Chains A and B, each alone.
Chain A
Amino acid sequence: MRTFNFLALVTVLFLTACERPYDIKLAEGMPQYTIDAFVSNSDSVQTIRITQSIPFNANPSTIPGVEGAQVALIDSTSFRVYFFSDRGKGNYTFTPSRSTGDTFRVGHQYVLAVIIGSDTFISGSTMNPTAPIDSLALIKEEERFGLKAGSYVELGATDLPGRGNCYWIKTFVNGALRGKINDLNLAYDGAFSPNAGSDGIPFIVPIRYIALNDFQNPYVSGDVIRVEIHSITPETLYFFSEVQQQSQNAGLFATIPSNVKSNVFNLNPKSSVKSNGFFCMSAVSSRSVVIP
């Protein structure tokens, strides 16, 4: 909850509390599989990644891919099965084709099945419709407190009617995703969470404007900004909120660290082989703008 960050700020300001780097001795865990399956209805190549977890203090670039797995996506509405091919280094891909009708569709339900050795992992997701992008506007800001003068973008989009529509808004700058943990931009019915009780509203300012820009580094002339709205399931939104909470868990009012919950399960609950990760089917809307 954002209020806690504020509270932590006040505490820190007031008590001049401090954080010091500290070498923590950690218990040794066991490597587990990670299934990272975010599949969309776009025509581009869809990739599912299967990797293994590494010791916490190891370098993330050393995360090993898992090869030799069998990956299938089953459309349980139309009973079609799509097999993903092993491309090495843990990447499994599928290329949709409009001509053959092999595409992923809004409103359909999907089951993910992954077989690694003698273990089968399954998960399910519905592909929900996404909010269309009405506009991607350029905003010129003057220098003011906490903000540098320059060009920024603002997304014009309205939450779809009905409660429980969740979105992940991704911003790409010259083709590169702003993909840091602090860049995660999630919407629940156009606001942050179901508690807002909102529905069918234009995305609120923090989502449509603040999260799309770095106010210390305005966009420069020639930059191509692309924004995508991915529909996600509410479980996926909670998954990302948990990831956020775990990574920003600091200060007096930190919550107790806990494992982020996965929606991928081993078919044999008694197996000692466990998995993490998440499966979500998304519909995507997209729009680009070039900074003049």
Chain B
Amino acid sequence: MRLLPLLLFFLFLLPEYSLNAQNITISGYVREASSGEEIINAQVTEVRSQKSVSTNAYGFFSLTVSAGRVELLVGFGGFDTKEFTFSSQKDTSILVELNKSSQQLETVTIKGRGKLDNVRKIDMSTNRLSGQAIKKIPAFLGEVDVVRSIQLLPGVSTVGEGSSGFNVRGGSTDQNLILLDEAPVFNSSHLFGFFSIFNPDVVKDVQLVKGGIGANYGGRLSSVVDVRSKDGNKKEFEGSGGVGTIFSRFSVEGPLIKNKASVILAARRSYIDVLAKPFLLGNEDLKDSRFNFYDLSGKMNFTLGKKDRLYIAGYKGNDVFGAGTQVKFIWGNTTLSTRWNHVYSDKLFMNLTYFYSKYDYNLGFGDRDNSFDWYSNIFNYSVKPEFTWYANAKNTVTFGGQSTYYVFRPGRATSQQAQGTFNFSLPDRYSWENALYVSNDQTLGKRWMLRYGIRWSSFDYLGSGKAYYYSEPLFAGFRKTFDSAVDFGRNKSMAFYQNWEPRMAVKYQINRQSSLKVSYNRMAQYLHLLSNTASSSPLDVWTPSTNNIKPQLADQFALGYFRNFGKNDAIEASAEVYYKDLLNQVDYIDGADLLLNEYLEGDLLYGSGRAYGAEFYVKKNSGKLNGWVSYTISKSERRVQGINNDQWFPTRFDRLHNLYIVASYSLNKKWDLGASFVFSSGTPATFPTNLYQVQGLNIPHNTFGARNNARNPAYNRLDFSATMKGKQTEKWRSEWVFGVYNAYSRKNPYSVYFRTDPNDPNSYQGVKFIVVGAIIPAVSYNFNF
């Protein structure tokens, strides 16, 4: 039964493969003429056969057509389309260089039909943002940001300002697979979510996949955010940078060997502490305060002959908080990925990735005599071969695997006191995740496209370590009591899970301008971010699936209608509905203790989830006025034994309506204007109904035992930006960006709750907690040389 998809796949494939003897394959790379940077997702079309393919994440394409006369069109948004006509009887490889459009107002007809991509491709529930597009969106404190841009797309929401991460189609923040050059990032936030760790100066392409997720991705339930960084200019040295209100950026790129090898280096650092220093000098206790974040990104690539390319990319970033010498709090990510592309033939492309990724934090208090120090991290090593076989004109097969070894360090903590040193560290945990997958993209006639694949994944929770066993409490929702523990030796399996994850997508082309798509995917997730707070915090701990914690599973169905209209099909529109069923969702007993708790698993509960909704999206890509309108209506619910009387309740991030409007207008050669508007229904809240007293203490109580029974007020915000082009010469281009965040100064509450009344510590007072309650202007200066 499990082999059925594989069998079907070969049945479809083989006849086609043997019949077309007089076909030839055109393969090659598409890149930017000025910098030599490879272009992702460029459209390559053969006009006579109407066959078309997109370049992959490395700029490679392969297209099989009839031998003889070939008319090739290569296009990409913002670039002039190139035409080639030649005659060939044998396989041909070419290198295409595209020039940036001389004028932004593209009046020329896009012959490459790139504008109909969203209708014609099988991908659904997918949004793509180029580095250029992200820069057009008004930004917080004038600093454009990848994750904050994603948060304006349909199906994506957050719990509010200052929340790390984001929620996709009713999934929690740990269900997003965030990849930076294929290495996973465990915390994508700087400064509690106000900025993401991705330096926009080095971001080339960002893809968000919410549904119809391909078999090549796995390990998270709700979405994939695939961030690809620039390779670096292969032709000449250039630099860019910016000086802003909160931080400064600088990047430099250039050839190591012209056209063959290049490098890019970029750095950012915030400088609130630098600016604050003079004011703190007089204060002995605070003069050593540190408040900053920084990140460094670097990438090198080498073209080794015609068939091989090598990429080495690294990232290191930290947020550093310290009050005097007494308190320190540091967290950050480190990633390193090495990729090797090899073209076996015109039809077979391989990418082999090896990566290392780490997230760690360190928290410390006190001085030498009396101190507390806590260090925690998660790191992993992974190898990931992936093959793309452009089997024939109608089938493209992707297959590969991944093997990842994880080390979890939930807490190494020591406390230094006069009586000695106390160690309350928790032992490290280990696990090994593996996956194999195969998937085929198939064209059936003129109207149908299919994608069917399967992913097998497994997870081994390994020793050395202790497996804990608990006895169930009398009532669900109470702490499970520790029963016994069994010691396991090094690399002994303490728990093993495996899952078959089918992935399917179908497209039906209704006419040139419209199509209908449907998809199904099953996803398995073996890592869990434990967080029972309103917003996930940098201290939250990633934990593996264990003998107690089962892998999370999700099934998602999505149906979408895609249509383009307007002059040159410049307006793309889509409407999608989805339903997601989630299993083994981790929840917490009331009063759960998640940090440095050896018996943590006794405090966890497991439940199921469901999320459903409809997303509407209209986007205009060209002309003076660009932008999009996105509206999502959705529900996200959960049911857990022991919470909310075992009934369904809305998740913390459930928002019924989400409306985002993003617009940019190019006024003239000097000025570009931007605006964005956000409206979101309030997030759920739990409020008490009653009050009682024990030992003189007033205790709030909800007599219905309800969770998330009320709503916070709705969120809305308007931002503006204006970009003024400065000097524009061959050697130096500059611009000033002026921004206004929260233009009508709305006091959006992050949450509403009760606190002890400062005037009367024994009674309560209702308050709203506002993270950004004022209008925030900003100015930054960007340059390029």
Q: Which of A78-86, A101-109, A134-142, A237-245 contacts B (4 or more CB under 8 A)?
A: A237-245
> Per a CB cutoff under 8 Å, which of B591, B694, B709 touches A278?
B694
Q: Is B445 positioned at the interface, with any CB of A under 8 Å from its CB? A: no
Residues of A within 8 A of B749 (CB): 22
A56 x B593 contact (CB < 8 A): no
Q: Please, how many angstroms separate the alpha-carbon atoms of A136 and B697 in the complex? A: 26
Q: Is A51 positioned at the interface, with any CB of B under 8 Å from its CB? A: yes
CB neighbors of A among B344-375 (8 A): 363, 365, 370, 374
Using A27-B687, A257-B686, A261-B478 as known contacts, say yes or no to A53 and B701 having CB atoms under 8 A apart.
yes
B700 x A20 contact (CB < 8 A): no
Contact indicator per residue, chain A 73-91, by CB within 8 Å of chain B (1) or not (0) = 0000000000000000000
Q: Is A125 positioned at the interface, with any CB of B under 8 Å from its CB? A: no
B769 x A17 contact (CB < 8 A): yes
Contact indicator per residue, chain A 233-260, by CB within 8 Å of chain B (1) or not (0) = 0000010011101111111111111111
Q: Is B590 positioned at the interface, with any CB of A under 8 Å from its CB? A: yes
Chain B residue with the shortest CB-CB distance to A278: B694
Q: Is B778 positioned at the interface, with any CB of A under 8 Å from its CB? A: no
Contact indicator per residue, chain A 9-22, by CB within 8 Å of chain B (1) or not (0) = 01100110111111
Q: Please, how many angstroms separate the alpha-carbon atoms of A36 and B323 in the complex? A: 42
Chain B residue with the shortest CB-CB distance to A242: B591
> Per a CB cutoff under 8 Å, which of A23, A202, A251, A260 touches B699?
A260
Q: Is B772 positioned at the interface, with any CB of A under 8 Å from its CB? A: yes
Residues of B within 8 A of A17 (CB): 162, 750, 769-773
Chain B residue with the shortest CB-CB distance to A19: B767
Q: Is B729 positioned at the interface, with any CB of A under 8 Å from its CB? A: no
A6 x B702 contact (CB < 8 A): no
**B-side interface residues, number (CB < 8 Å):** 88
Q: Please, how many angstroms separate the alpha-carbon atoms of A31 and B691 in the complex? A: 9
> Per a CB cutoff under 8 Å, which of B192, B424, B747 touches A196?
B424
Q: Please, how many angstroms separate the alpha-carbon atoms of A29 and B590 in the complex? A: 20
A197 x B422 contact (CB < 8 A): yes
Most B-side CB within 10 Å, residue of A30, A182, A197, A246? A246
Q: Is B33 positioned at the interface, with any CB of A under 8 Å from its CB? A: no
> Per a CB cutoff under 8 Å, which of A58, A184, A196, A256 touches B422?
A196
A195 x B692 contact (CB < 8 A): no
Q: Nearest Cβ distance between residue B531 and chain A, in whole angstroms?
A: 9
Q: Is B539 positioned at the interface, with any CB of A under 8 Å from its CB? A: yes
Using A258-B590, A261-B591 as known contacts, say yes or no to A22 and B766 having CB atoms under 8 A apart.
yes
Q: Please, how many angstroms separate the alpha-carbon atoms of A32 and B163 in the complex? A: 37
Using A3-B363, A27-B709, A259-B705 as known contacts, say yes or no to A11 and B192 having CB atoms under 8 A apart.
yes
Using A20-B767, A60-B693 as known contacts, say yes or no to A276 and B539 having CB atoms under 8 A apart.
no
Q: Is A180 positioned at the interface, with any CB of B under 8 Å from its CB? A: yes
Q: Is B717 positioned at the interface, with any CB of A under 8 Å from its CB? A: no
A248 x B756 contact (CB < 8 A): yes
Q: Nearest Cβ distance between residue B133 and chain A, in whole angstroms?
A: 28
Q: Please, how many angstroms separate the alpha-carbon atoms of A276 and B480 in the complex? A: 21
Chain A residue with the shortest CB-CB distance to B160: A252
Q: Nearest Cβ distance between residue B410 and chain A, in whole angstroms?
A: 11
Chain A residue with the shortest CB-CB distance to B370: A205
Residues of B within 8 A of A19 (CB): 755, 767-770
Using A1-B593, A24-B752, A195-B593 as known contacts, say yes or no to A60 and B691 having CB atoms under 8 A apart.
yes
Q: Is B87 positioned at the interface, with any CB of A under 8 Å from its CB? A: no
Using A53-B691, A252-B534 as known contacts, say yes or no to A241 and B703 having CB atoms under 8 A apart.
no
Q: Is B285 positioned at the interface, with any CB of A under 8 Å from its CB? A: yes
Q: Please, how many angstroms separate the alpha-carbon atoms of A29 and B689 in the complex? A: 5
B763 x A60 contact (CB < 8 A): yes
Q: Please, how many angstroms separate the alpha-carbon atoms of A121 and B192 in the complex? A: 47
A252 x B770 contact (CB < 8 A): no
Most B-side CB within 10 Å, residue of A3, A10, A258? A258
A238 x B705 contact (CB < 8 A): no
**A-side interface residues, number (CB < 8 Å):** 80
CB neighbors of A among B201-236 (8 A): none
Residues of A within 8 A of B752 (CB): 22, 24
Q: Which of B177-185, B380-388, B396-404, B595-603 contacts A (4 or more CB under 8 A)?
A: B595-603
A32 x B692 contact (CB < 8 A): yes
CB neighbors of B among A120-159 (8 A): 145
Residues of A within 8 A of B415 (CB): 196
> Per a CB cutoff under 8 Å, which of B285, B479, B591 touches A145?
B285
Q: Please, how many angstroms separate the alpha-carbon atoms of A278 and B695 in the complex? A: 9
Q: Is B130 positioned at the interface, with any CB of A under 8 Å from its CB? A: no
Residues of A within 8 A of B709 (CB): 27
Chain A residue with the shortest CB-CB distance to B164: A252
Residues of A within 8 A of B526 (CB): none
Residues of B within 8 A of A254 (CB): 533-534, 751, 753
Q: Is B59 positioned at the interface, with any CB of A under 8 Å from its CB? A: no
> Per a CB cutoff under 8 Å, which of A4, A23, A32, A249 touches B703?
A32
Q: Nearest Cβ distance between residue B167 and chain A, in whole angstroms?
A: 16
B327 x A6 contact (CB < 8 A): yes
Q: Please, how many angstroms separate the alpha-carbon atoms of A191 and B415 in the complex? A: 11
Chain A residue with the shortest CB-CB distance to B710: A27
Q: Is B741 positioned at the interface, with any CB of A under 8 Å from its CB? A: no
Q: Nearest Cβ distance between residue B763 and chain A, in whole angstroms?
A: 6
CB neighbors of A among B399-437 (8 A): 415, 417, 419, 422-424
Residues of B within 8 A of A238 (CB): 479, 591
Contact indicator per residue, chain A 250-275, by CB within 8 Å of chain B (1) or not (0) = 11111111111100000000000010
Q: Is B696 positioned at the interface, with any CB of A under 8 Å from its CB? A: yes
B291 x A14 contact (CB < 8 A): yes
B691 x A58 contact (CB < 8 A): yes
A246 x B699 contact (CB < 8 A): yes
B285 x A255 contact (CB < 8 A): no
Q: Is B537 positioned at the interface, with any CB of A under 8 Å from its CB? A: yes
Residues of B within 8 A of A63 (CB): 691-693
Q: Is A93 positioned at the interface, with any CB of B under 8 Å from its CB? A: no
Residues of B within 8 A of A245 (CB): 591
A21 x B767 contact (CB < 8 A): yes
Contact indicator per residue, chain B 270-300, by CB within 8 Å of chain A (1) or not (0) = 0010000000000011000001000000000
B590 x A197 contact (CB < 8 A): no
Question: Contact residues of A with B, CB < 8 Å?
Answer: 1, 3-4, 6-7, 10-11, 14-15, 17-24, 26-32, 34, 36, 38, 51-56, 58-60, 63, 145, 177, 179-182, 184, 191, 193-198, 201-202, 204-205, 238, 241-243, 245-261, 274, 276-278
List, sorted by A's number, 27 A–B pairs whose CB atoms are closer than 8 Å: A3-B595, A10-B329, A14-B191, A15-B194, A17-B770, A20-B770, A22-B767, A24-B766, A27-B710, A32-B690, A32-B692, A34-B692, A54-B691, A55-B689, A60-B693, A60-B762, A181-B756, A182-B756, A196-B415, A243-B694, A243-B699, A247-B699, A252-B192, A254-B751, A256-B534, A261-B590, A261-B591
Question: Contact residues of B with A, CB < 8 Å?
Answer: 162-163, 191-192, 194, 272, 284-285, 291, 321, 323, 327, 329, 363, 365, 370, 374, 415, 417, 419, 422-424, 478-479, 532-535, 537-539, 590-591, 593, 595-599, 652, 685-705, 707-710, 747, 749-756, 761-773
Which 7 residue pairs spanning A and B have beta carbons closest together?
Answer: A29-B689, A29-B703, A258-B590, A53-B692, A24-B766, A22-B768, A53-B690
